[in-house]
Structure 1
Amino acid sequence: MMIAGKKTYIYIAAGVAALGLLFSVMAYRTFFMSNITGDGSYLYIPHNSGYNQLSDSLEKSGSVKSMRCFKRAAGFEGLENEIKPGMYHLKPGMSNHQIIRIIKRGWQTPVRITLSGNIRNVEKLSSLLSRKIESDSTEILATLKDSTLTDSLGFNPLTFPSMFLPDTYEVYWTVTPKELLLRFKKEYDRFWNRERLEKAVNIGLSPIEVSTLASIVSEESNLKEEQPVIAGVYLNRLRKNIPLQADPTIKFILNDPSVKRILNRHLSINSPFNTYKHAGLPPGPIVIPQKSTIDAVLDYKKHNYIYFCAKPTLDGSHNFAETLAEHNKNARAYQRVISRL
């Protein structure tokens, strides 16, 4: 009888051990085994998304190896009631427990927004931003055109583009348009430190006016060594109350990339941005200038030049002149080359 009892005990113990092992294997497979396919992917969870929408997105993306295991783990961990919106990086090797944890805790992966120096209007800006964050271009554009908001930030609709500085910014996909604008304003204020503000005062311009002039300079030349010289030309004109006569402002008015040459008929267009008709700076930037171009204006080259013209070498560089006669000579040399093309 004692032997039979011992055997029964051994069988029971073995059964319990087997069940324990089976449970451990199932628990490991459900919660801790890697469940991400390939090189991983990004999961986007919009605001107000439910568990079913999340599951459908995962299944359609093919990001997880076993949806059955994921759903089992999600049920045990109560994911359904704790879904946080955001963009999440599902990295290779991640387990269901890790996936669920980052979603429940809202551990988003930041998105990178790069503003370049070729943004000419808020419509293009809103289109660019909408490709990086949850909000669509319509919502973003409405925020960009919110006069109450722009006024509170110290700008008007025409000067507003000067607040945006070309750079790469990290934000969360769920950032609201207003939060994003406040982030750009924070970077703007950081850029305009005491040293730059003092330089702006010394040349008699506000930060917005510096950005406006820099936008023209940036369109005149991509050559970093020439930009301070060109800035000096325009500052000389401003001080002498001579119209800037900047061709880039006419191209801005035309808003037609196909226009290669400015004609006399273009110079009579009625617009506050027409620097042939109106003395002084235009009412706002014609493009978002690079930080380096803003610094080129602040650190402009002092000289007596009033004119400049593209060199006949057609390499993007310019000839500078103090007198109209000298400028006309440079212009004729350039026109001779152009006429042969």
Structure 2
Amino acid sequence: MKLKRILAFIAVAGIFVAGIVGYVVYKKAFVSNTKFSQNEVFVNIPTNATFNEVKEILNPYLTNIDNFDFMASSRKYPQNIKAGRFLIKKGMSNFDIVRALRNNIPIRIAFNNQESIGNLAGRLASQTEPDSLAFVKAFTDPQFLTENEFTKETVLALFIPDTYEFYWNTSATKIADKMAKNYRRFWNNERKMKAMNKKLTPLEVSTLASIVQKETVKIDERPRVAGVYLNRLATGMPLQADPTIIYALKKQSGDFNQVIKRVLYDDLKIDSPYNTYINSGLPPAPITMPDISAIDAVLNAEKHDYYYFCASPSKPGYHAFAANFTQHQINAREYSQWVNKLGINR
């Protein structure tokens, strides 16, 4: 009888202990362990991160890092750490957090009209794991350039400003390859045929589009501006595009971040293959990364008799066009007077 009582006591004690253990395990596994106020946060886990590094990254967002450690170890996460960008939602338990850390979330990368590979590299590095140097190396790799028929000068045409989807930890080399595939997909047979009909190669279209891009921010005006330059090319007139002078000045100084609002007469004498005042035809490469609207503006340029244009003081953002030099002088004089009135010297 006494033995039965002892056994019964042990059984009850075991159930009690098991209950306590079960409760502790349940609390560590399934009770909320987040302490941020927003609905969700994204965390970036670097390539080859250790478990301790992961905990350091997560610590600001978790109520109890030791409980997370317990659950992660129980689910063998330290032996299977994934790099990438991961979504942690408010109220998640440690069980949910470990599961979330196995689901790499892609990011949408965007860049605009960069004037140099260095600037593009910096823009991409601010949104992904690879650093600027890795991007510059990938984009200027001799084999990469040869395979895609570009040089260090012309490769600007490869990168079409848009929004792209990658994983945060995608390598610079893989991003470069995807950009190249996108470029080849963009230049479909229809666009190639339009370029051919204008006696231009895709690279020449991108080069002219880069000038159009810089000349006007008004998308509806770009086909007309493109038409002016095509008229000039057809008759052998120099393009005399101020944006190419600005680019030449920046390239010569090595400072692509400087702001030049006004081209001066002395600037027109700069010794550069990008100076379209003293060199006929197109410059040797794009002066920026033209977006799709600028490229299509060249491919679908407006047909007209205009050979000149200058900024319009009466219609900000747009231009006044002229078919002859006399009218252009009148338009240019009005614009010059307006600029002087505003006190813009450079």
TM-score, normalised with respect to structure 2: 0.90
Post-superposition offset of 1:314: 5.3
Task: Report the equivalent of 1:128.
Answer: 123
Distance (whole Å) between structure 1 residues aligned to residue 185 and residue 210 of structure 2? 20
Distance (whole Å) between structure 2 residues aligned to residue 258 and residue 18 of structure 1? 75
Task: Report the equivalent of 1:229.
Answer: 224
Task: Report the equivalent of 2:104.
Answer: 108
Task: Report the equivalent of 2:193.
Answer: 198
CA contact (8 A) 2:249 2:270 kept: no
Post-superposition offset of 1:12: 4.4
Aligned length: 334
Deviations 1:104-160 (A, max 9, x none): x4x21222211112x111111111111111111122222222222122122111111
Task: Report the equivalent of 2:209.
Answer: 214
Distance (whole Å) between structure 2 residues aligned to residue 56 and residue 218 of structure 1? 45
Deviations 1:32-89 (A, max 9, x none): 2222222343322222222222223323xx1111111111112222222211222222
Which AA in structure 2 matches 1:317?
A: Y
Distance (whole Å) between structure 2 residues aligned to residue 316 and residue 100 of structure 1? 53
Task: Report the equivalent of 1:27.
Answer: 25
Distance (whole Å) between structure 2 residues aligned to residue 169 and residue 191 of structure 1? 13
Post-superposition offset of 1:181: 0.8
Q: Establish whether residue 244 from structure 1 lines up as the match of residue 239 from structure 2.
A: yes
* Larger mean Cα displacement after TM superposition, 88-97 or 297-306: 88-97
Task: Report the equivalent of 2:263.
Answer: 262
Task: Report the equivalent of 2:53.
Answer: 53
Deviations 1:225-267 (A, max 9, x none): 2110010000111111111000000011112634322122111
Task: Report the equivalent of 2:314.
Answer: 313
CA contact (8 A) 2:106 2:167 kept: yes
* Larger mean Cα displacement after TM superposition, 26-35 or 233-242: 26-35
Which AA in structure 1 matches 2:332?
A: A
RMSD over equivalenced CA pairs, Å = 2.0
CA contact (8 A) 2:88 2:100 kept: no
Deviations 1:296-336 (A, max 9, x none): 11111001111112223151221212212222222223233
Gaps of 5+ in 2: none
Deviations 1:255-300 (A, max 9, x none): 2634322122111111111111111111111111221111111111
Gaps of 5+ in 1: none
SS at match of 1:186: helix
Distance (whole Å) between structure 1 residues aligned to residue 51 and residue 334 of structure 2? 71
Task: Report the equivalent of 1:94.
Answer: 92
* Larger mean Cα displacement after TM superposition, 10-19 or 198-207: 10-19
SS at match of 2:246: helix
* Larger mean Cα displacement after TM superposition, 232-241 or 317-326: 317-326
Pick one of 2, 13, 16 that aligns with 1:18: 16
Runs of 4+ that moved beyond 6 A: none
Post-superposition offset of 1:11: 4.0
Distance (whole Å) between structure 1 residues aligned to residue 47 and residue 339 of structure 2? 57
Distance (whole Å) between structure 1 residues aligned to residue 127 and residue 339 of structure 2? 42
Deviations 1:19-43 (A, max 9, x none): 3322322222222222222234332
Which AA in structure 2 matches 1:174?
A: N
Task: Report the equivalent of 2:65.
Answer: 67
Distance (whole Å) between structure 1 residues aligned to residue 3 and residue 42 of structure 2? 58
SS at match of 1:120: coil
Distance change >3 Å, CA 322–CA 183, structure 1 → 2 = same
Task: Report the equivalent of 2:300.
Answer: 299
Distance (whole Å) between structure 1 residues aligned to residue 243 and residue 71 of structure 2? 60
SS at match of 1:81: coil
Distance (whole Å) between structure 1 residues aligned to residue 219 and residue 58 of structure 2? 48
Distance (whole Å) between structure 1 residues aligned to residue 74 and residue 261 of structure 2? 65
Post-superposition offset of 1:90: 1.7
Post-superposition offset of 1:94: 2.3
Distance (whole Å) between structure 1 residues aligned to residue 260 and residue 80 of structure 2? 55
TM-score, normalised with respect to structure 1: 0.91
SS at match of 1:340: helix
Distance (whole Å) between structure 2 residues aligned to residue 254 and residue 45 of structure 1? 41
Which AA in structure 1 matches 2:189?
A: R
Distance (whole Å) between structure 1 residues aligned to residue 52 and residue 191 of structure 2? 53
